[in-house]
Amino acid sequence: MSTLTHLAATSPDQGRAHNPNAQGAPIKLRVEGLGKRYGNIDALHALDLDVRSGELLTLLGASGSGKTTLLQIISGLVAPSSGRIVIDGRDQTHAPAHQRDIGVVFQNYALFPHLTVSQNVGFALDMRGVSRAESRRRINEALAMVGLEAMHQRFPRELSGGQQQRVALARCFIYKPSLILMDEPLSALDRKLRETMQMEIKRLHRETGSTIIFVTHDQDEALALSDRICMMHNGRIEQIDTPQAMYERPSTVAVARFIGISNVLEGTVMQGDQLATADATVALPKGHGCQPGTPGALVIRPEHLNVVAADHGALRGTVVEAVYAGVETRIVVRLASGNLIVVRRLSGQAPLGIGSVVGLEWPAHPPHFLSV
Amino acid sequence: MAELAMQTAKAKPARKPQVTWSALWLVVPGVLFLVAFLLYPSFQLLLVSLKDPRTGAWTLTAFSKVFAGGVYTRTLSSTFIVALQTTLWCIFAGYPLAYWLARLSPRRQRMAALFVLLPFWTSALVKNFAWLVFLGRNGVINDLLGAMGFTPAELLFQRATVVFAMVHTMLPLAVMVMLPTMNQIERQLAQAADTLGASAAQQFWRVYLPLSMPGVAAAGLLVFISALGFFITPTLLGGARDTMLSQLIIVQINQLQNWQMGAAIAVMLVLAALVTCFIYDRTFGLSTLSGGSSDRLQHNGLMRRAGLGIGCAMGNLCDALARGYSRLSGARNAGWMLAAYAWLIIAVLIVPILAFIPMAFTGSDFLSFPPPSLSFKWFGQYLQSPLWVGSTLRSFGIGVATASITLLLATLAAFGLARSRSRLGGLAFLLFMTPMIVPPIVISVSLFYLFAQMSLVATNLGIIIGHTVIALPMAFVVLLATFKHYDWRLDQAAATLGAAPWRVFIKVTLPLIKGGMFAGLVTAFLQSFEELTVAMFIGGGVKTTLPKQMWDDILLQVTPTLAAASVVVVVIVCALFFLMEYFRPAEHQVSAS
């Protein structure tokens, strides 16, 4: 029943920061053949990655996928075992963190507990020898940007989690670093606050035109925030694409399963654009380009499935669960092979009893084919 | 949104009010004990100092003598100077060692900390005795100097030697107090400073050092207060001009029977300690002593601004120096120097203790290092002497009794405090920490006065009570930490799974707290086993404990039997210490993301 835990609301057309300039913008960060070994374990396998100026790129992956390691190498807090880091055309592979002109927003904010909000925000200006008057002006500006002018004399422990988060953002944006790295900055916040802060980060990104690399394990967050998503798995980059492309055309089963709720039908490609699965033989979209006899998989999003009478439709199974979620009801259907299929139905349709046998079809939307 | 989050944080309800009241009652036995054997006798001592012994009239003559110039005033000032020097040296020498320890991985830190904890638990008597042997005219240091072509120097009976030996005695305390604060500093903060453009030097001076200051201040407080009441080191290693207040108390009471004067000096000692504590509390807040975060950080306090200013200046200076150094030498990493320093200090801490082992097996009639030949004869002497064997057995018995009573009182009190949120809890906490602030010599003298009225002088019970007063704070702190870290929801979970209260205790609570209980038991035993002052006054020369026997011998005639006795002490301390380490609960490793 693990599918049920993934039933978080995800829809492909949620608002997304689409930066029209990102496409032709110069390359801000180039990662070439970057690898990291810890003892005998490869945390990162020789990756290549380009990030364009003004882009918001998320590194998405489960824990242990290597996304935090990659971020730490880019920030200069961890040295790579191989490869190069080029920022603004300059090789920074061996530069220490404090000489890189990058900004990092840490998971637990890492605010200095002995300094006030103003002093925290002004720390980087201090390090750069900015004059006192100039520094004061910019601190006020940065605090105004995150709506914390009134809190400038407080200590971090006197602030709520969301406020601490805003201080961390202000501390990072104030010195306009050429590259901003965010390491799961919202993971400590509750869901409501997290959504507010996502909006805030998008706004800051838009207003400042900064380049941001954002690490998260939350696919909703990645879909909502990113210009592009870089999906990582076992120390490798699985796919880099826009959120829409990644949702609609995942390049591997791993990506399909990680992003959104996916129903994956695995089987063998047959003559005449057919896929033989354990439950049924189903039609493949034209032009899949696979030889008969090779293994393949179909990815079908729950919103593209229709429930029909048991003797109609391409698949047949038993309803084992129905989860009411306001605007829609999610139905879990068990196929004969034991494979669980999730279907989204608008609420208000005739309810389906648990145990009833139904058929499934996908009339309007061709499923996405993956060669495995 | 943010305001809402703050409100919910504030509105967190206090858990189970009905538990808190009944739990606080458990503090009562310990409180009564301390009122009877610490507060009441101290108050009596204060009265003694203020009353003319013949007429019984109120008078300040004893105090005016202290300030009238002459020997008392000189001793008062030299006590302060020695204590201050000791404190500063302990902090300056100890900080890098604690810093080095704090940067090790948890596993390696635990191993390396053993080298600091072992000298911490070895008695001051043994450590100072070692320096007496080493630094003597024919000691190993002078032999080394001679071999290098220097003329032998008079190393003993110098102010510098007294300070050195006191620093040696209390450095482990300073390090062990500073270390927990340093361990709490998140490594991420240095990384954050790094990404914000701070060099290594600036990270240290602007972020690490200010955050470690509460630990430094706590170490300074504890070292200074202990140093004020010291008498072993100046007696053994100091000259006539290095006399300290505690020695005067001993002379006034044990030799001159001048209770009024002795009591007045004792009151001065306590006052000095209290004033120090008061200043500390005003600046840092006493709660930082138990590892709580400081609530005294004023937003624009002078101290804070000055501290930050110094940090900034030093950060810039050291940054420039480090740049110059790396440009000159080409080296980027000078980390090995810190490690080398740390191991050097550890060697200085450990070697004098281990040196007793070869010295005890000497074949010669004199204590010397290295021994000219080896034999077992001094251990034979030790075992055949009814004085030595008797005092060792008595120390054992008193230690076991002290440990049991201390554990009982401390467990009840710590449990009661950990489970209650009452304001009275803070007062009880202060009371339980008071024996740490009142110098042992004052506790001993005041109990001596009280017990003289109760015919408890020269009894084992008298010594046990005195040792319990002294051992309570540390056992209490250990147990309080244990109970505060204990997750009480586990008890509730066990209860909901159908366990009766006593089964909850046996099956769930006890297995999880037994490490802390054992640590409390051993700390109490060790403190009693090595305690000298109480035994000196209350033993009355009849009930001699092992440290008292050693003390008498050191003052009379130094024989290798003493080294044999020291080895016995060190072996017992080591055995218990390693047992305690073995039973210490494994720290729950925080999994890194």
**Residue-level pLDDT at A133:** 94
Minimal Cα–Cα distance from B310 to chain A, Å? 14
Q: Is the peptide bond before A250 cis (omega within 30 degrees of 0)?
A: no
Number of domains making up chain B: 2
The helix-helix angle for B106-121 and B560-583 (nearest 10°) equals 150
C-alpha A284, offset from chain centre:
29
Confidence of residue A227 (pLDDT cuts 50, 70, 90): very high
Side chain identity, residue A48: D
Q: Which two tokens stand for residue A94?
A: 């061996």
Inspect the interface and report whether the beta carbons of A98 and B312 lie closer than 8 Å. Answer: no
Residues B112 and B153 in one domain: yes
B592 at interface of A, judged by CB pairs closer than 8 A: no
A73 at interface of B, judged by CB pairs closer than 8 A: no
Q: Which of A316, A278, A280, A305 is nearest to A367 (CA)?
A: A305
CA distances from B335 to B190, B338, B530, B540 (A): 16, 5, 38, 54
Whole-number Å distance between alpha carbons of B492 and B110? 33
Locate the DSSP E strands across chain A: 27-38, 41-52, 56-60, 82-87, 90-91, 102-105, 179-183, 212-216, 228-233, 236-241, 263-270, 274-277, 281-283, 295-300, 306-308, 315-325, 328-335, 340-346, 357-361, 368-371
Minimal Cα–Cα distance from A280 to chain B, Å? 42
Of A110, A127, A196, the CB nearest to B186: A110
Residues in chain A: 372
Inspect the interface and report whether the beta carbons of A124 and B197 lie closer than 8 Å. Answer: yes
SS3 state of residue B67 = helix
Residues B32 and B60 in one domain: no
Whole-number Å distance between alpha carbons of B438 and B271? 9
Across A37-51, A302-316, B158-172, B521-535, least confident range: A302-316
Q: Which of B371, B473, B576 is nearest to B30 (CA)?
A: B473
Residues B55 and B38 in one domain: no
Nearest chain A residue to B191 by CA distance is: A77
CA distances from B396 to B157, B376, B460 (A): 33, 24, 12
C-alpha A15, offset from chain centre:
14
* Whether pLDDT at A56 is above 90: yes
Q: Which residues on chain A are in Cβ contact (under 8 Å) with B193?
A: 98, 112, 123
Nearest chain B residue to A119 by CA distance is: B308
Inspect the interface and report whether the beta carbons of B186 and A163 lie closer than 8 Å. Answer: no
**Residue-level pLDDT at A12:** 39
Coarse DSSP helix, strand, coil percentages of chain A, rounded to the nearest 5 percent: 25, 35, 40
B453 against A291, higher pLDDT: B453
Whole-number Å distance between alpha carbons of B396 and B380? 20
Q: Could you write out the DSSP letters of every residue in A115-133?
A: S-HHHHHHHHHHHTT--HH
Domain limit, last residue, from B261, B289, B317: B289
Residues B35 and B84 in one domain: no
Question: Containing domain of residue B577, as a range?
Answer: 21-43+374-485+514-587
Whole-number Å distance between alpha carbons of B540 and B534? 10
Q: Which residues on chain A are in Cβ contact (under 8 Å) with B195?
A: 75-77, 97-98, 100, 102-104
H helices of B439-559, in order, are: 440-454, 460-485, 489-496, 501-504, 510-529, 533-538, 546-556
Q: Which residues pair with A319 in a beta bridge?
A: A333
Domain limit, last residue, from B258, B289, B320: B289
Domain limit, last residue, from B263, B289, B315: B289
**Residue-level pLDDT at B334:** 66
Inspect the interface and report whether the beta carbons of A106 and B1 lie closer than 8 Å. Answer: no
Q: Which of B14, B213, B186, B224 is nearest to B103 (CA)?
A: B186
Whole-number Å distance between alpha carbons of B561 and B378? 5
Q: Which two tokens stand for residue A81?
A: 């075992």
Q: Which of B387, B378, B395, B352 is nearest to B547 (CA)?
A: B395
Q: Which of A65, A22, A353 is nearest to A212 (CA)?
A: A22
Q: Evaluate whether A185 touches A58 at the Cβ level (below 8 Å).
A: no
The values of phi and psi at residue A357, to 5°, are -95, 130
Q: Note whether residue B221 is domain-resident.
A: yes
pLDDT digits (tens, 9 = 90+) for A183-226: 999 988 888 888 989 999 999 999 889 999 999 999 989 999 99
A22 against B499, higher pLDDT: B499
Q: Which of B466, B461, B450 is nearest to B532 (CA)?
A: B466
**Residue-level pLDDT at B297:** 53
From the number of C-beta atoms within 10 Å of its C-beta (0-12, 13-18, 19+), residue A107 rates as middle
**Residue-level pLDDT at B471:** 96
Residues B122 and B253 in one domain: yes
Q: Note whether residue B77 is domain-resident.
A: yes
Q: Evaluate whether B285 touches B294 at the Cβ level (below 8 Å).
A: yes
Q: Which residues pair with A44 in a beta bridge?
A: A36
Minimal Cα–Cα distance from B190 to chain A, Å? 9
Q: Which residues on chain B are in Cβ contact (under 8 Å) with A163?
A: 2
Residues B35 and B120 in one domain: no
**Residues sharing a CB contact under 8 Å with residue A355, sequence separation 6 or more, in sequence order:** A318, A319, A320
Long-range contacts of B426-434 (CB under 8 A, 24+ apart): B428/B24, B428/B27, B428/B30, B428/B31, B429/B290, B429/B480, B430/B286, B431/B31, B431/B34, B431/B35, B431/B39, B432/B30, B432/B34, B432/B472, B432/B473, B432/B476, B433/B289, B433/B473, B433/B476, B433/B477, B434/B34, B434/B38, B434/B39, B434/B473
Side chain identity, residue A278: A
Q: Note whether residue B103 is domain-resident.
A: yes
Residues B265 and B414 in one domain: no
**Residues sharing a CB contact under 8 Å with residue B376, sequence separation 6 or more, in sequence order:** B361
Residues B82 and B136 in one domain: yes
Long-range contacts of B335-341 (CB under 8 A, 24+ apart): B338/B96, B338/B99, B338/B100, B339/B100, B341/B96, B341/B97, B341/B100
Of B3, B188, B593, the CB nearest to A68: B593
Domains of chain A: 12-255 (3.40.50.300), 261-371 (2.40.50.140)
SS3 state of residue A307 = strand
Whole-number Å distance between alpha carbons of B461 and B453? 14
Q: Note whether residue B303 is domain-resident.
A: no
Task: Write the ipTM.
Answer: 0.76
- In the sheet with A82-87, reading across from the earlier edge strand, the strands are A41-52, A27-38, A82-87, A90-91
Residues B38 and B91 in one domain: no
Of A77, A98, A153, the CB nearest to B198: A98
What CATH number is attached to the domain comprising B478?
Answer: 1.10.3720.10
Residues B140 and B275 in one domain: yes
Whole-number Å distance between alpha carbons of A124 and A175? 7
Q: Note whether residue B572 is domain-resident.
A: yes
**Residue-level pLDDT at B86:** 96
Q: Note whether residue B355 is domain-resident.
A: no
From the number of C-beta atoms within 10 Å of its C-beta (0-12, 13-18, 19+), residue B373 rates as exposed
Residues B547 and B439 in one domain: yes
Q: Which two tokens stand for residue B90?
A: 């302990």
The DSSP code for B251 is: I
Q: Evaluate whether B27 touches B480 at the Cβ level (below 8 Å).
A: no
The DSSP code for B51 is: B
**Residue-level pLDDT at B434:** 92
Nearest chain A residue to B593 by CA distance is: A63
**Residue-level pLDDT at B21:** 54
Inspect the interface and report whether the beta carbons of A126 and B194 lie closer than 8 Å. Answer: no
**Residues sharing a CB contact under 8 Å with residue A254, sequence separation 6 or more, in sequence order:** A233, A238
The DSSP code for A366 is: P
Buried b (16+ CB within 10 A) or exposed e, B172-205: bbbbbbbbebbeebeebbbbbbbbbbbbbbbbbb
Inspect the interface and report whether the beta carbons of A113 and B193 lie closer than 8 Å. Answer: no
Nearest chain B residue to A99 by CA distance is: B197
Q: Evaluate whether B264 touches B66 at the Cβ level (below 8 Å).
A: yes
Q: Which two tokens stand for residue B346?
A: 């550890």
Whole-number Å distance between alpha carbons of A306 and A313? 9
Whole-number Å distance between alpha carbons of B336 and B234? 36
pLDDT digits (tens, 9 = 90+) for B285-339: 665 555 445 555 555 567 777 777 887 888 888 888 877 777 776 555 667 889 9
* Whether pLDDT at A19 is above 60: no
Q: Note whether residue B503 is domain-resident.
A: no
Choosing among A67, A105, A114, which should be mutated to test the B contact, i.e. which has the most B CBs within 10 A?
A114
Whole-number Å distance between alpha carbons of B168 and B171? 6
Q: Which residues of chain B have pLDDT under 70?
A: 1-22, 285-301, 329-334, 585-593
Q: Which of A59, A45, A52, A61 is nearest to A30 (CA)?
A: A52
Residues B264 and B382 in one domain: no
Side chain identity, residue B317: L
**Residue-level pLDDT at B81:** 94
Whole-number Å distance between alpha carbons of B76 and B62? 14
Q: Note whether residue B323 is domain-resident.
A: no
Side chain identity, residue A206: R
Whole-number Å distance between alpha carbons of B347 and B312? 34
Q: Which residues pair with A38 in a beta bridge?
A: A41
